[in-house]
Amino acid sequence: MSHPSLVLGIETSCDETAASVVRDGTEILASVVSSQTHSQHGGVVPEVASRAHLEQLLPVIDETLREAKCRPQNLDAIAATTGPGLVGALLVGASAGKALSLAWDLPFVAVNHLHGHIYAAFLEEPDVAMPLVALLVSGGHTMLVEMRDHGDYKLLGQTRDDAAGEAFDKVARLLGLGYPGGPEIDRLATEGNPEAVRFPRPMLADGYDFSFSGLKTAVANHLKKHPNTSTQDVAASFQAAAVDVLVTKAVRAAQNTSTGSLVLAGGVAANSELRRRFAEAADDIGIAHFLPSRSMCTDNAAMIAAAGWQQLRIQGASPLNTAVDPSWGFAA
C-alpha cells in the first residue's frame, strides 16, 4: 500500500478558514488559520461566513503552500472537513478540496471535524496509547468518545442541551463579560473562590451524558437573588462545577473501558482549570493523559490533515461526489 506523506488539510466548518500541510500525520510544515472576527459579527453568520470563506480560502492555501515550501506536485493527498458544521461554510472547503484534488490529480479524503479534534493529539504525540477515551469539549460539542483504534470510534455520551463552551459563553454574558466568554471566565476565576457558591453538578452520578443548561440557569438565578456576589467568585464557582462534571465523567469512562490514555480535545481544552484537573485526575487513576497545546485546541487544518492521512491509509480515498453532512456524528 502506498504511503502518502504530504497531506494538504482544509478546514472551513465554522468561522475559521484554515489550511495546513502535514508530513506523515505528525510534522506540521505550515498551518494557517484566518478567523472571522467575533467582535464584528458576534458569532458565525451563515451567509457572511460562506462569503468570507470563499474570499479567504485560496489566499490561505497559497500562503500555506508557500510557508511549507511545497508545490502542488509535491503533495500526496488533500483532506477537507465535510461535516459536521454549517452547510454553506462546509461547502466552500469541501468543494475547493475536491476541485484541487481533481486538478492536481490527488486522492481526496472527506474528514469528520470531530475526528480531527482527536487527531490533534496524534499530531503532537504520535504514540498516544489506544484504546483511548477523549473528552471533546467546544462551543458546539460536548462528547465522551472511546477510540479503540484508528477509524474505530464509539460515542459514550454527549450533552443533552447546551455544550460546555456555550455554557461558558452564556455565563460570561450573564456576568457582563465580553465574547468569547471562555477565556474571560478562565482569567477571572483565578481571582475568585471556587467554593463561594455551590452550583449544581448536573447529572454527575448519571452515566456519560452531560447537561449544562440547568447550571447556566442556576447562575442566572443566583445573580438575580444575590446581585452583589463578586464576579470573580461566580466565575470560579461556575467553572468549578462545570469542570467537576467534565472530569468526573471522563475518569468514569476511563475506568469502565480498557483505556490506555485520556485525551482532552476541542476549544474548551484551552481552559486552565480543566487542564489542571484533567491531568491531576488521570494521574490519580494511573492513566496516561494528553493535553493539546492551546493552538491545537481551536479549529485548525493541521488536525484535519493528520486525520486525513490516517484515514487514507486505512480506508482509502473518498469519492469526489461525497456530500457535506452538517450533522455528521461520530460514527464512520
Partner 1 sequence: MSSTVAVRCATASPEETQALAATIASHLTPGDLVLLSGDLGAGKTTFVQAVAAALGVNEPVTSPTFALAHHYLGKYELRHIDLYRLADPCEMLDYILEELESAIVLVEWGELLAAEFPEARLDVKLSFAENGPSSDANYRSIELVGTGSRWKSVLVAVETQK
Alpha-carbon torsion 277, 330, 12, 26, what sign? positive
Q: What is the DSSP letter of 205?
A: T
- What grid cell was written down for 277? 484537573
Which among 93-101, 154-162, 248-256, 301-309 is the span making contact with partner 1, rule CB under 8 A?
154-162
Interface with partner 1 includes 115 (CB under 8 A)? no
> Which of positions 51-90 make contact with partner 1 (CB under 8 A)?
84-86
Beta bridge partners of 265: 136
Written as nine digits, the cell of 307 is 486525520
Q: Which residue shows C-alpha cell 486525513?
A: 308
202 makes contact with partner 1 (CB under 8 A): no
Residues 6+ apart with CB under 8 A from 321: none
Q: How far apart are CA 35 and CA 43, in angstroms?
A: 11
| Closest distance of CB 316 from partner 1, Å | 30
- Interface residue with partner 1 among 170, 249, 277, 289 (CB under 8 A) is 170
Q: What is the DSSP letter of 162?
A: S
Q: Of these, 26, 34, 158, 257, which contacts partner 1 (CB under 8 A)?
A: 158
Tell me the closest approach of the beta carbon of residue 106 to partner 1, in angstroms. 31
If binding is defined by CB under 8 A, does position 213 make contact with partner 1?
Answer: yes
- φ, ψ of residue 53 to 5 degrees: the values are -60, -45
Which residue, 66 or 173, is less far from partner 1 as judged by CB? Answer: 173
Among 48, 70, 130, 279, binds partner 1 (CB under 8 A): 48
Where do contacts with partner 1 occur on this chain (CB under 8 A)?
40-48, 84-86, 138-140, 158-163, 165-166, 170, 173-174, 213, 216-221, 224, 326-327
